Amino acid sequence: MEIIIAKSYEEMSEKAAQIMKEIIEENPAAVIGLPTGSTPIGMYKRLSEMCQKGELSFAKATSFNIDEYVGLPESDPNSYHYFIGEHFLNNIDIPSEKTHLPNGMAEKLEEEAENYEETLAAAGYLDVLFAGIGHDGHLGFDEPGDHFQRRTNLVDLDPITIEANSRFFNNKEEVPTQAITMGIGTMMASRKIVVMASGEGKAEIVKQLVESEVTPQLPATILHFHPNALLLLDAEAAKLL
């Protein structure tokens, strides 16, 4: 796993945007995996600017979001549908039929997860996956456990994740308790993985990730087994390394 430490959040975001730009320039029809959370907002802002200035086009790309809460309609500002539209997809020239997110409102959630995995498989999986990391070491919503999740699946969220994500909601009770997320196996099928972490609050989990053996108790450690994984940090997230 390669590690790059940027001086600031802005520099980390710029670097992430440049990586995405290079991938799209090399292969305009790239299949890209998209995260939510506060970490990637700066990257999305830069990419949106590049696209609006005509420096970059996603017209031939295909996108798959990593995850979505169960039970939030697309119109809910806390849904990942809403988030990714607002911060990225609505600002770029990607055709809407080429963008994908799990449907957390599906009647049959397990079937929805299975179909999402099949759609990803049919697309040949991801050329690049961008991801953030949870305070408990989760990727997407793949929480710590006894084994790595192989495929896209329906998951229960950990109390620690509910607590961390409650800052976006009015209160903890409003945070959904379940989500549909790509599995760790799904993510590992990506040709390249870029995990970003920013701020002091992530310093401890970043240290654990870098120093730990691969273990499903800290799902992001799987990156050690990926041949083309990059950990992109700002100085604060890297301060315990």
User: Which residues are tagged catalytic?
Assistant: 67, 136, 138, 143
CA distances from 9 to 4, 64, 85, 139, 238 (A): 12, 24, 22, 20, 12
d(CA 169, CA 16): 27
Question: Considering only 85-93, 134-142, 208-216, 222-230, which stretch makes contact with ligand GLP by CB under 6 A?
Answer: 134-142
Nearer Cβ to ligand GLP, position 152 or 161?
Answer: 161
Cβ closest to ligand GLP, residue 31 vs residue 179: 179
Q: Tell me whether residue 38 or residue 52 sits nearer to ligand GLP (CB atom).
A: 38
CB of 131 to ligand GLP, least distance (A): 6
What does the angle CA 203 – CA 63 – CA 237 come to, to the nearest 5 degrees? 10
CB of 196 to ligand GLP, least distance (A): 8
Dihedrals φ, ψ of 3, to 5°? -125, 130
Kind of pairing between the strands at 31-34 and 62-65: parallel
Least distance in Å: CB of 46 to ligand GLP?
16
Query: Residue 97 or 173: which CB sits closer to ligand GLP?
Result: 173
Give the max Cα distance, the chain: 47
- Give the residues across from 32 on adjacent strands: 63, 128
190 makes contact with ligand GLP (CB under 6 A): no
In the complex, the residues that contact ligand GLP under the rule CB under 6 A are 35-39, 66-67, 131-134, 140-141, 161, 165
